[in-house]
Structure 1
Amino acid sequence: MGRRGDLARQALLDAAEELFAVHGIDSVSNRRIAEYAGQSNHSAVTYHFGGRDELLRALIDRYREPVSRLRAELFARLPAEPTLTEYLQCLILPVTGHIGSLPAPTRRARFQRLLATTPSTAAMLAETARSDESSKRLIAGIDELLSAVPATVKAGRERVMGRMIIDICAEYEARIDEGSQTPQWTALGYFLTDACAGLLSAPVSHPDFAGL
């Protein structure tokens, strides 16, 4: 497509991510994205991506690919018998590290929260997450360490963990954007790691929990 086309795609991705994060995914039209990106062709999203779903997948990949690469690097450096905390660091630090590496202001964490909570995109995000081989191996390792925790309790805690990471990163990003928070994404990653380790390994008071 050439450099000009690449720049147009990048502008459309940036515009879409910002507009979606501020107004919601289902409230922003393709035409509005094109106009906000400075494209005179109101069909620019269709021209450059093929359609709405393809635009959303490109946005998901723009987040997934660097996070997956960082995760694979950390996974490769794990010791022979990793601890729960070490497994969780591989899962969480790439998320906060990637967001922290982006030029300010960022909208990526808030956009990821929208993807996870908007019915039209939640399934798309979940499908992409399942394709991450490092994540699957890390979760398998965590499950093995937590074999004494009832399966439904463990699954429920993992769902809470996922929501917590998404929500806290989005809220943290919003505070940075408004100027009330100094960016410390690495420190946040370690904080979340410790919090998740405590959540997953906590004593089980009621083993008959049916799950979330």
Structure 2
Amino acid sequence: MKTETSKTNRSPAAQKMLRVAERLIAEKGIDGVSSRELAREAGQKNHSAVNYHFGSFDGLVNAIIDERAGNINAQRESLLAAINVHGGAASPRALLDAMIRPLAEELLRGDGNSRYLNLLGQLLSRPRWQRLFFENRARSQALLRISALLSAQLPADMPEAIRHSRQALMGRHIIHSVAYWDELQHSGSVKMNEQELEWRIQDLINYSLAGLMAPHRTESA
């Protein structure tokens, strides 16, 4: 069976299916959309069109991730390179900016119809889809580097278990925060522009810094 897994080789029909999939998953949830419905909404008469273009429903979701995450990873790499140019240890604030900004700026890219942030929030809250997201670590290399550099900036006496716990909590909070901004934008509750997004990014950085650096010793009352 022919499949179109390469971004450069995708037909207009396959590309349309990706956009329709993002929208339907945002509206109905990733577990509430069938391959048959996707094909119909994308104007495909063949009910097996998802399998034809992407091999499976999982393959279609993976293609969406590849397309969006690749751009985000490249921008994070650029921000990390700019940090390194200045020399010395990267500050936690600069690292959090490199982590959050490329993701949040998805809200301002393209035609404004992307629902990738909503999809990402769903993926990372479900173990099955979370595994799919992290299968290809190459598309998250910059994020992994930022996480390692952030860990090195935490207090030296902070136990390893707390380091991992705080970074995991922070990562989930960042994802769900930008997914919430996506909902606000698409519902018409917020008109997202550069100024609106910037204060949100800075506030999320401040919030994340406070959580990462909070006192970690617990003492009995």
Answer yes or no: is 1:122 the counterpart of 2:116.
no
Answer yes or no: is 1:108 the counterpart of 2:88.
no
Question: What's the secondary structure of 1:139's corresponding residue?
Answer: helix
CA-to-aligned-CA distance 1:81-104 (integer Å, 9 cap, x gap): 211101111111110112321322
Once the 2 structures are TM-superposed, how far is the Cα of residue 5 of structure 1 from its aligned partner? 5.2
**1:144-155 equivalence runs, <5 A:** 144-146=152-154, 147-155=156-164
List gaps (5 residues or longer) in structure 1. Answer: 208-212
Number of aligned residue pairs: give it: 207
Question: What's the secondary structure of 1:40's corresponding residue?
Answer: coil
Alignment-derived partner of residue 57 in structure 2: 52
Alignment-derived partner of residue 91 in structure 1: 99
CA pair 206-15 structure 1, distance change in 2 beyond 3 A: same
* CA distance in 1: counterparts of 2:51 and 2:14, whole angstroms: 11
Question: What's the secondary structure of 2:12's corresponding residue?
Answer: helix
Maintained 8 Å contact 1:66/1:98: no
Maintained 8 Å contact 2:19/2:114: no
Counterpart of 1:133, as a letter, is: Q
* CA distance in 1: counterparts of 2:167 and 2:177, whole angstroms: 15
Once the 2 structures are TM-superposed, how far is the Cα of residue 129 of structure 1 from its aligned partner? 5.0
Counterpart of 1:8, as a letter, is: A
Question: Could you tell me which of 16, 32, 36 is aligned with 1:11?
Answer: 16
Maintained 8 Å contact 1:21/1:111: yes
CA pair 129-186 structure 1, distance change in 2 beyond 3 A: farther
Alignment-derived partner of residue 186 in structure 1: 198
CA pair 192-130 structure 1, distance change in 2 beyond 3 A: farther
* CA distance in 1: counterparts of 2:9 and 2:158, whole angstroms: 54
Give the ranges of 4+ consecutive aligned residues of structure 1 lying more than 6 Å apart after TM superposition. Answer: none
Alignment-derived partner of residue 159 in structure 1: 168
CA-to-aligned-CA distance 1:155-202 (integer Å, 9 cap, x gap): 111111111111111211111112111213333222212211111111
* CA distance in 2: counterparts of 1:109 and 1:36, whole angstroms: 21
Alignment-derived partner of residue 210 in structure 1: none
Maintained 8 Å contact 2:39/2:50: yes
The percent of aligned pairs where both chains have the same amino acid is 28
Counterpart of 1:161, as a letter, is: M
* CA distance in 2: counterparts of 1:23 and 1:190, whole angstroms: 31
CA-to-aligned-CA distance 1:84-131 (integer Å, 9 cap, x gap): 101111111110112321322432211111111233311111333575
Give the alignment's TM-score, normalised by structure 2: 0.85
Maintained 8 Å contact 2:73/2:139: no
Give the alignment's TM-score, normalised by structure 1: 0.89
Question: Could you tell me which of 195, 200, 206 is aligned with 2:212?
Answer: 200
- Superposed CA RMSD in Å reads 2.2
